[in-house]
Amino acid sequence: MMANKGIWIFPVVVLVSVFLAACGDSTAAPTFDSSDSELVTGQEIYSNNCSRCHLNDGAGGSGVQLNEGKVLASYPDAADQRAFIVEGNGRMPGFGGSLSDAEIDAVVRYTREVLAE
Ligand code: HEC
């Protein structure tokens, strides 16, 4: 008598799920007229010194929101905003010791004329 040998194939189905991370378009740096070299410098200063707290687009993060007109509402006078960035306050470090006057001017312009929009 022959043993009835069945061959059982157990298909293994591997489901591969690809998750496409939504890579924060909302934190993209805004675009602007790059022929204005002071604003270009301002953006460099901002991305090197400020965006880790305020995010690339100024939406806030661990710092406070600067975009959507917030920084202009808090500081109608650019000189007051400049003084704040030099001095800092609370968890916001002062940059008077690490950035030059020209760099601070550039980043103030960038936050008011590009980010604030
Ligand atoms: C370590 C995190 C951190 C970094 C880095 C940082 N900030 Fe801030 N920033 C804050 C916090 C927190 C506040 C709120 C502080 C307060 O008002 O007491 C703030 C407030 C501000 C404000 C005032 C906003 C308002 O409406 O009152 C401005 C303007 C500002 N930051 C600009 C900058 C610029 C420009 C840089 C880079 C040169 C920078 N910040 C870097 C955390 C940061």
Query: In 26-77, which residue ranges form alpha helices assigned H by DSSP?
Result: 37-49, 51-54, 70-74
Is residue 14 included in any domain, yes or no?
no
What is the rounded average pLDDT of the residues 4-24?
A: 47
First vs last C-alpha separation in the chain: 88
What local confidence, expressed as pLDDT, does residue 75 receive? 97
Residue nearest to atom 8 of ligand 1 (CA): 92
What local confidence, expressed as pLDDT, does residue 26 receive? 56
51: domain range? Answer: 37-115
Is residue 42 included in any domain, yes or no?
yes
Using the mean position of ligand 1's atoms as its centre, give its distance from the Cα of residue 63 in Å: 6
Is residue 62 included in any domain, yes or no?
yes
**pTM reported for the whole predicted model:** 0.82
Is residue 7 included in any domain, yes or no?
no
Question: 25-57, pLDDT tens digit by residue?
Answer: 457 889 998 999 999 999 999 999 999 999 999
What local confidence, expressed as pLDDT, does residue 117 receive? 84
Show the tokens assigned to 33: 């007229």
Higher pLDDT, 43 or 11: 43
Quote the number of domains for the chain: 1
Is residue 16 included in any domain, yes or no?
no
Q: Of all atoms in ligand 1, which is nearest to the CA of residue 49?
A: 37
Is residue 27 included in any domain, yes or no?
no
Residue nearest to atom 5 of ligand 1 (CA): 50
Contact predicate 41/103, CB 8 Å:
yes
Is residue 102 included in any domain, yes or no?
yes
Question: For ligand 1, is residue 95 a contact (CB within 6 Å)?
Answer: yes
Using the mean position of ligand 1's atoms as its centre, give its distance from the Cα of residue 91 in Å: 8
Is residue 9 included in any domain, yes or no?
no
Assign residue 76 the CATH number of its domain.
1.10.760.10
What local confidence, expressed as pLDDT, does residue 57 receive? 95
